[in-house]
Amino acid sequence: MPSSASLFTRAQQLIPGGVNSPVRAFRSVGGAPFFTRSARGATLTTVDGRELIDFVCTWGPAIHGHNHPRIRAAIAAALEHGTSFGTPNPYEVEMAELIVKFFPSIRKVRMCNSGTEATMSAIRLARGFTQRDKIIKFAGCYHGHSDSLLIKAGSGALTHGHPDSAGIPAAFARETVVLPYNDPAAIAAAFAANPGQIACIILEPYIGNIGFIKPDAGYLQYVREACTTHGALLIFDEVMTGFRQARGGVQELEKITPDLTCLGKIIGGGLPVGAFGGRADVMDYLAPLGPVYQAGTLSGNPLALAAGIASLQMLEELNPYAKLDALGRQVVTAALAAATAKGLPLQAPQTGSMFSLFFTPTPVRDMPTALASDAKLFGKFFHACLAGGVYLPPSAYEAWFLSTAHEGAAIDRACEVIASAIKSL
């Protein structure tokens, strides 16, 4: 089998940057990416034969670990009947029933093919429903790469130093009001400056795309009340957090009811999928019932939904959230202890199976405080962990993810490597 080095050389001749998603390129941490041959449980196996404990988990979907036999069996069973039909199929109805069951705010749901499609479509729907053009988003929140949302974005855009993408017309950007996260006064000022013009607020209720950041106490409730007061819709982007923080997402934990919710990741069980849903009166503005057009040839793909249904059913049966939270606390406790012993400032926000490490003395609560962390030191830490057999997100500005497969030897070994890497800095 070709080595990672030779594959990357070939890829760079054919694929921009040699990768099909920018953060995979290792540009912010240095070095060249490895190529994965296979994955199982908590472990990736590279084409070079290395086994790595994985804290990326396909950027969120692999909550049960990689290549879970039950998900694989569900895909195989669906494959017996075909790969795509271009007609409605039974899996679509079953998935809709599961989503509505676990998310009380969602009364109707539309499937699509990615988180980007979900957020893009939810924004269009909000504009169509309210008959308003402007939207509010927050600096550092990443909602996919559609034009209205790739402004002051997080994730790979921030990692590579381009939170504002080229190719977005100024007229589009003017319709997007970008505010600091965790700042209620900024929301009040934005509504006052744009009376009757704001269609919606979209946010990650727990941010995962400038690292993992939680809202201040009462902040999400303030956002909800502001939207209600000013006739704007509230959109929760729970593409990362949906079914990962809880079966009902962050909105279950925080007891907030958004008007629309965007989902993805886990509901595909490792295959490409997205969804958005919410109030029935809003969702009925979608074609074929209403004037807001949205479509997709592969939306509701039977293989993707079969995988996602199996994943959601296991979450219902196993209810692994307390276990995942304990695993997350084990990692951050080990990291903080090592940092204290070394005399390094470290912030380690964590809830459930999502967390981040920021090398900074200042608590991280928004984009500026995230950017104040030491990204160069993180790069050294990343490579020390990789040398020890632990794969982290290759960016100082991404959330880490855990799976149920990390329990036991994998988490113990990972904690040892992470602590050793911190002490080596």
The structure tokens listed for 425 are 């800095």
- Whether residue 277 is found in the same domain as residue 328: no
Domain that holds residue 179: 69-317
Residues facing residue 355 across a β-bridge: 350, 400
- Whether residue 264 is found in the same domain as residue 353: no
Annotated active-site residue in 91, 108, 137, 142:
142
Annotated active-site residue in 237, 321, 366, 391:
237
Q: Residue 165: its pLDDT value, please?
A: 66
Q: Does 214 participate in catalysis according to the annotation?
A: no
The CATH number of whichever domain residue 357 belongs to comes to: 3.90.1150.10
> Which pTM does this prediction carry?
0.95
Per-position pLDDT tens, the chain of length 425: 899 999 999 999 999 999 999 889 999 999 999 999 999 999 999 999 999 999 999 999 999 999 999 999 999 999 999 999 999 999 999 999 999 999 999 999 999 999 999 999 999 999 999 999 999 999 989 898 877 776 665 444 444 444 566 777 777 778 999 999 999 999 999 999 999 999 999 999 999 999 999 999 999 999 999 999 999 999 999 999 999 999 999 999 999 999 999 999 999 999 999 999 999 999 999 999 999 999 999 999 999 999 999 999 999 999 999 999 999 999 999 999 999 999 999 999 999 999 999 999 999 999 999 999 999 999 999 999 999 999 999 999 999 999 999 999 999 999 999 999 999 99
- Whether residue 246 is found in the same domain as residue 130: yes
- Whether residue 38 is found in the same domain as residue 73: no
Question: Which of 284, 317, 350 delimits the end of a domain?
Answer: 317
Q: Residue 169: its pLDDT value, please?
A: 76
Question: Which of 257, 292, 317 delimits the end of a domain?
Answer: 317
- Whether residue 104 is found in the same domain as residue 202: yes
Q: Using CA atoms in the order 275, 276, 277, 281, what is the torsion angle rounded to 10 degrees?
A: -130
- Whether residue 334 is found in the same domain as residue 418: yes
- Whether residue 200 is found in the same domain as residue 54: no
- Whether residue 261 is found in the same domain as residue 342: no
Are the CB atoms for 418 and 390 separated by under 8 Å?
yes
Annotated active-site residue in 214, 265, 321, 391:
265
Q: Residue 152: its pLDDT value, please?
A: 60
- Whether residue 10 is found in the same domain as residue 87: no
Residue with tokens 């199996």: 310
The CATH number of whichever domain residue 269 belongs to comes to: 3.40.640.10
Q: How many domains does the chain have?
A: 2
Q: Does 134 participate in catalysis according to the annotation?
A: no
Q: Does 91 participate in catalysis according to the annotation?
A: no
Q: Residue 127: its pLDDT value, please?
A: 97
Task: Reduce the secondary structure of the chain to three states and give it as a string.
Answer: CCCHHHHHHHHHHHCHHHCCCHHHHCCCCCCCCCCEEEEEECEEEECCCCEEEECCHHHCCCCCCECCHHHHHHHHHHHCCCCCCCCCCHHHHHHHHHHHHHCCCCCEEEEECCHHHHHHHHHHHHHHHHCCCEEEEECCCCCCCCCCCCCCCCHHHHHCCCCCCCCCCHHHHHCEEEECCCCHHHHHHHHHHCCCCEEEEEECCCECCCCCECCCCCHHHHHHHHHHHHCCEEEEECCCCECCCECCHHHHHHCCCCCEEEEEHHHHCCCCCEEEEECHHHHCCECCCCCECCCCCCCCCHHHHHHHHHHHHHHHHHCCHHHHHHHHHHHHHHHHHHHHHHCCCCECCEECCEECCECCCCCCCCHHHHHCCCHHHHHHHHHHHHHCCEECCCCCCCCEECCHHHCCHHHHHHHHHHHHHHHCC
Question: Which of 317, 337, 360 delimits the end of a domain?
Answer: 317
- Whether residue 40 is found in the same domain as residue 133: no
- Whether residue 288 is found in the same domain as residue 244: yes
> Phi and psi at residue 9, in whole multiples of 5°?
-60, -45
Q: Residue 234: its pLDDT value, please?
A: 98
Q: Residue 174: its pLDDT value, please?
A: 84
Q: How many residues does the chain have?
A: 425
- Whether residue 291 is found in the same domain as residue 174: yes
